[in-house]
Structure 1
């Protein structure tokens, strides 16, 4: 494609070169540059792409997009200056791949908690109804039957457009995508038009980046400004941020779901919760009996959001009911690990105060004996939640084991100290075991008949980050091996 055509809708200054040259590939990573590529230098948080321009040229880049004019220009290379290269990356990718979203219904799911499960459910319903759908999110990216690894909740804009181009070639009609606040703030979905969008909830998270809850809320709301006018949005009516999100919507059709308000478009006031499943009846735009093979009040919310979204996409209500019955759950989301032991063990990704409380409320509602909780807090992230999570552990658990999550560059001892500030001065029913494997082993060792053991914070994650090391650690595998030994 000619460079001048890739630059449609982009304000730029030509520093050197011409716009008639052919471009065969786009790249924002100098390690992936090939001959006749356009390299986009992005100013990142840890590294600056401008420092790798010479490397990109050496690898074959024939044109470079910059924010800062380089001190020297390589001969024969075209240099273009823009105001915001990260934002314009999305437009460059859209142009280069001929806007594949024109033929794809893009469904975005945002919120603090529930994005992954809600996305999985919507994708599962569509596939069960015979629709061709892709999934992009925290755990994996799925295109048809091909599973791709996921390094972040929402991929970079260029990677997304590569995926969308592949979907178009395979005639895949739907793309269901988790949309994080970082993705919205960092232009990863800039300029993309969504056919549908879902808001799950908003609680304190990522304040290390957003600084205030208002900034965080505004970042989430951006998704709904990118809806097509003939699209629709689905909102959790019970969340205090729902009105703010609804006011942000560019769609003409906005719908709500609720557990407490029968004025919502879809609601339920009659439900049953068990350790491994739940049942409820819906009211509103359609009435059905729903059964789901997973526990937790929060999964009623997730399934209501998915059901309402699928229904508005034209899926028959009976097909929705049948697909829920066949849903096997999401890895690391209220995942029950069973090796024949006489107590319950659950692995869950809950790593925020709200997520933790939701899981522990469900655990408490179904517990038969003692509740043992193993958790930690991530390093280099929002510190304000640590004491809150410590307080929740004391409030709900009969015994607590504080351990490492992903401490990253922080000293784990400092994280433990901040967690313990949430404990009352007389609280004694806890211990600190820094090594997470040992902490899980300890919980399993002390568990008695009919106890419940909950391993919180890491869910599906397969690696633990300590300093600059990435260590293999999967809570589910560790727990299963230890349970087999105990049994």
Structure 2
């Protein structure tokens, strides 16, 4: 049991009706989870308003209600706490409830459009190899030391974040690497966390279904750096024009990395092959199994962050050369019939262009590059024709298909992707809405030495159609078809 006033420490209060000295059990913002003597936080979400479920939460035993709009009538024996912003209040309360676990470890947040998962996951790998107990909060998984937990959001809610950080404290974790999404920042999920550092990767067309404009999307990301303390570091990709914007107002110590511009951490690509990259970082050569220009940036960010966190140059380079690719990020294999199949999470125009340009920079042009790609439903529609244009311009053949259609008509989504194809590329393109069939079609088209890229879903092992999730794994499916077809 925890005393309410301890949980409310540092929460900006507008009004309180009732007793803050009362003892409570748990905090919830989902009324269905509320039990006896719990705190219910009424969140105004995009789909529903928690204020509509206050009575239900009280009926289920809630002893405390935290809200933005005080109910006209208050239930006897229930404490009502009015705040300006329940998202922010929840974040502060969650941190207090779990005894501010982020203050007991070195927490580094990674934000940007592309590369968040790769950088966070590879830093987890690197520091584990260096002998530390490490935590990870990513799109792919949550890790507490060697224990793995499933995850559904890029940045989980404040209660989940703090509960896992508490687990990390209890397990003796010293470093934690965390993906920080624009949704997470906008919804205050990272508020009240103590960050040792922040890393900015890049910014491109994404989440404009949620943010009203690109400028708003950029400024939300910038807020993460604005709120870093003076004791933290802010490491940004200076080759991205938004890099300098991110650190304009930060109190943190500023560091830059880049391949093209003058930077604190600079790299050159010496060799770029399907087997990996040879890089020169600040005058030191290192070989990595990771592939492509975009991974050169990721490796450089990892190297810079590891130095800023206290590893020596030799230590960093040694562990970088042993890093394994992250699940669903340029994951590839060569079939018996010498067809190269690549599965990648590229689901933004920028990420798709990076992956296709990387493949084109490595291949000999004597082989076909067959791309299977679609766009998710209920998400930013403006990127669909852009993705269609990029895929058809940079591939020799394209199969447009379904991604996660969610509640939208998959055929309609495919049509919107096709709309971006220029006349000279019409002959390269076909559309097969069923994703499994589309992957099979690509396998049937492929000959010896050809390359198949399956983009958009990467590590995801499901397909979401009309609110239901069905088992679906791009890598598994392409492997089976190439085996069946003896390719």
In which range does the TM-score fall when normalised by the shorter chain?
over 0.9
Q: State the Cα distance separating 1:150 from its structure 2 match.
A: 0.8
Tell whether the 8 Å contact from 1:338 to 1:344 is kept in structure 2 after alignment.
yes
- Match of residue 347, structure 2, among 330, 342, 351: 351
Tell whether the 8 Å contact from 1:337 to 1:347 is kept in structure 2 after alignment.
no
Instruction: Please say which of residues 242-251 and 326-335 is displaced more in the overlay.
Output: 242-251
Q: State the Cα distance separating 1:392 from its structure 2 match.
A: 0.8
Which residue of structure 2 aligns with residue 237 of structure 1? 238
Instruction: Please say which of residues 9-18 and 393-402 is displaced more in the overlay.
Output: 9-18
Which residue of structure 1 aligns with residue 45 of structure 2? 44
Hey, what's the Cα distance between the residues in 2 that align with 1:151 and 1:442? 30
Deviations 1:283-330 (A, max 9, x none): 2xxx42211112111000000001000011111222222212221210
Tell whether the 8 Å contact from 2:124 to 2:136 is kept in structure 1 after alignment.
yes
**Unaligned 5+ runs, structure 2:** none
Hey, what's the Cα distance between the residues in 1 that align with 2:181 and 2:202? 12
Hey, what's the Cα distance between the residues in 1 that align with 2:229 and 2:127? 20
Tell whether the 8 Å contact from 2:90 to 2:158 is kept in structure 1 after alignment.
yes
SS at match of 1:454: strand
| Aligned residue runs from structure 1 range 12-411, under 5 A | 12-14=13-15, 16-251=17-252, 253-261=253-261, 263-283=262-282, 287-368=283-364, 369-411=367-409
Hey, what's the Cα distance between the residues in 2 that align with 1:462 and 1:5? 41
Tell whether the 8 Å contact from 1:338 to 1:480 is kept in structure 2 after alignment.
no
Which residue of structure 2 aligns with residue 429 of structure 1? 428
Which residue of structure 2 aligns with residue 478 of structure 1? 477
Deviations 1:357-383 (A, max 9, x none): 000001111224000000001111111
Tell whether the 8 Å contact from 1:331 to 1:460 is kept in structure 2 after alignment.
yes
Q: State the Cα distance separating 1:250 from its structure 2 match.
A: 1.7
RMSD across aligned positions (CA): 1.5
Hey, what's the Cα distance between the residues in 2 that align with 1:149 and 1:34? 25
Tell whether the 8 Å contact from 2:142 to 2:149 is kept in structure 1 after alignment.
yes
Hey, what's the Cα distance between the residues in 2 that align with 1:24 and 1:257? 46
Tell whether the 8 Å contact from 2:226 to 2:247 is kept in structure 1 after alignment.
no
Tell whether the 8 Å contact from 1:192 to 1:226 is kept in structure 2 after alignment.
no
Which residue of structure 2 aligns with residue 448 of structure 1? 447
Hey, what's the Cα distance between the residues in 1 that align with 2:392 and 2:167? 49
Deviations 1:136-167 (A, max 9, x none): 01101111111111110011112111111222
Q: State the Cα distance separating 1:5 from its structure 2 match.
A: 1.9
Hey, what's the Cα distance between the residues in 1 that align with 2:71 and 2:112? 40
Question: Number of matched residues?
Answer: 482
SS at match of 1:319: helix
TM-score (norm 2): 0.96
Q: State the Cα distance separating 1:339 from its structure 2 match.
A: 4.2
Over 6 Å off, 4+ runs: none
Hey, what's the Cα distance between the residues in 2 that align with 1:255 and 1:11? 33
Q: State the Cα distance separating 1:86 from its structure 2 match.
A: 1.1
SS at match of 1:372: strand
Instruction: Please say which of residues 94-103 and 184-193 is displaced more in the overlay.
Output: 94-103
Hey, what's the Cα distance between the residues in 2 that align with 1:9 and 1:477? 49
Q: State the Cα distance separating 1:118 from its structure 2 match.
A: 0.8
Hey, what's the Cα distance between the residues in 2 that align with 1:345 and 1:102? 44
Hey, what's the Cα distance between the residues in 2 that align with 1:258 and 1:14? 49
